[in-house]
Each structure stands twice: as C-alpha cells, then as structure tokens.
Amino acid sequence: MEDYDDKNTQSSTFSCTSCGADLKYKPGTINLKCDYCGAENDIPQIDAAIEELDFNTYLDDKSKTSEQLSVHIVKCEDCGASSTLDPKIKSASCPYCATPLIISSAHDEVMLQPKSLLPFKLERKDAQSEFRKWVIKLWFAPSDLKKASLDFDHFKGIYIPYWTYDSDTSSSYTGQRGIYYYITETYTTTVNGKQVTKTRQVRKTRWYFVSGRVARFFDDVLTAASKSLPVKYIYALEPWDLESLVPFDEKYLSGFITEKYQIDLKEGFEIAKNIMAVVIRNDIRGDIGGNEQRIFQVGTSYKDITFKHILLPVYVSAYRYKNKLFRFLVNARTGEVQGERPVSWLKITFAAIVVLAIGITIYYFANTQ
C-alpha cells in the first residue's frame, strides 16, 4: 500500500488538560484517562455515517483521497510483524512472538489510515480475567506453561487491521442430484447354529445431471489484513459488533499497539472470495435438492463491490515454551478467547493410566459378585 499518494496524518501523544501528562484511551468509554492525576478528557464524538468505498474506483485511483498515518514503527526480526512503538520505550518484546525487539531499528513510517474502528471495550484486567479462566480449563497443558501464561507482562492490547467487503454475487453451476431408492436383497446368516435365509432393504442412489444459478448479497465479509497471528484463531474471535464502528480518531489508539497492514485490498478480496465460496456452495446444495448433491463446476461473478478498512481490538499474549511459540488472543469487545493449546504428554499418559485402572477395577468387581 506504500505506493499510494496519500495524505499524511502525524501520529502524536495527547496531553492531559489538568497536569500535562500523557493520556491513554480508557476502554469502554469515550474518554482519554491520565494515569498520573486520574483526570479524564473527553474524545469529541463525530456524528458521521461509516462509509462504504467503491472497490474498483479505489484500485484505479490508487487511493488518492485516502489518508495515511505517520507512526513510530518497529519490525520484528523474527516474525516480520511491523507495529507501532512508543518512542519513550527503551526495551520491548514482539507482541506476536515474544522475541526481544531491536529498539534502535525503530523508525518513523507512514501506514494506511483506516476510516473506522471498534474501540477497546474490555479493560486489560477484564480481558486477563477471561484469559485466566480459559487457561485454567486447559487440563492437559504443561503446568509451568500455565503459570507462565498468567504472567501478564506479555499481555498486549493491539489494534488489528481488517478489510470488510460487500458484494452482489451470481453463481452458475453444474452438478448432480442424488435420489435414494431401495432394493430388496436376500442373504444367509446363522441363527441358533442353523443357516437361514433373510431379506433386507438396501439403499441405493440414482444420480441426475443438474445445472442452475444462485444469487446472494454478502455484507461485511471480514478478512484480517495481518499475517502475524494464526489464521485459525483470529477468525475464531468472530463475531464482531460492526454496527458499533466509530469514525477513525487517533485518540482511540493512545496506549495501544497498532499493526501495519500486511495484506492489501486486492489480496484481501481474494481471501473474502474463499469465505463467500463456502456459503455459495451451501446455497447450491440447497438449490440442487434431493438426498445428496455433487457439485462439478461453479462460476461466480461479483458486482457492486464495496469495502471498508477498519481496526479491531485484540489482546495478544505470546509465550515461548521449550523453543516453541504459543499465542493466545482475546476479543477486546466480547471476551472470546482463542489460542494454541499445548499439551503435556506426561499428563495425558497419567490420565490414560487412571482411566485404565478405573476400568480394570470396575471389571474386576463386576465379575466377582
């Protein structure tokens, strides 16, 4: 996205009107809070609709009317993630992989400025509480990792970049409709030591060639513009309350990390197509009908494509355990927790032995009565 001739907005800190100290956004409010004197400074609210932008126009015009944000960026040498960094910080670790960051490599850079965002709703302590409950339920996780993961020095609030897409779709298809029918089959079996002949109903399928067309409008298909987090878990954080999006205001970013877009608009739409394809194939199966369906070919056209570029709030916790990286995510709007579940084979083996012992005991007493 760096080749776009965009307007720049300078990233800055915000000073408390009471004491002059730096302010941070207070989750769940429309205020910036001063950690020094406790004063709260309101964020002016803009009564403006969240705009859908035309996909093709944006690509053709190279986003001439779009804005970029000038920020202090540091890139992780290990995982490659680029995220914002407070210039006052002298040491830090990557929020995505826990690798120590080379602070001297941090530099000012421009990044695509989203048009809207969902502000953090859960405070850090509330998200930590949800995370703690989730970790405790990991029965087979190594005990020392459980203890380490509850060390919240690695618990970071991050705004993750996303694209959302709307599109009218029309899909033509060819396939087969399967209809069940039954035939009577004769077979022999042994009953009380004697061979007897019986009959049974056997299900068969008769296939018929079909073709047709289905149409669907997709609204707000979300694709993450990050490559720093496991795809499986970042999408499992859904749903998001996108109806609560607010116009972009840099004040909401204060006190949090913001990741730079790693997936551009065009690549994001290819990901969105894959998400839409799952729904379209389900529509086709419903249109084919019958008892079973086979889909041979699908051709989909996309019209009236619009998009939004937004930021969504996530708490991220990354730990290295026995040279392996484990990452945990918390949806900072709903408290939904997702993450990689390491296992202790010692605990699994012990549990298996206990279950086996219980089974043997039950069998022994059942046969000695």
Task: For the chain, give every domain's residue range.
Answer: 7-173+210-352
Determine the pLDDT at residue 145. Answer: 57
**How big is the chain, counted in residues?**
369
Determine the pLDDT at residue 349. Answer: 53
The ranges of the chain with pLDDT < 70 are 1-13, 62-66, 137-153, 321, 341-369
| Angular region, 192: left φ>0, alpha ψ -120 to 50, beta rest | left
Determine the pLDDT at residue 8. Answer: 35
Helix H or strand E encompassing 59: helix 55-60
Determine the pLDDT at residue 5. Answer: 36
Determine the pLDDT at residue 193. Answer: 85
Determine the pLDDT at residue 148. Answer: 53
Termini Cα distance of the chain: 77
Contact 336, 315 (CB under 8 A): no
Q: Are strands 31-34 and 82-84 parallel, antiparallel or unpaired?
A: unpaired
Determine the pLDDT at residue 355. Answer: 56
Determine the pLDDT at residue 211. Answer: 97
Determine the pLDDT at residue 348. Answer: 47
Determine the pLDDT at residue 3. Answer: 40
Helix H or strand E encompassing 275: helix 265-288
Determine the pLDDT at residue 55. Answer: 93
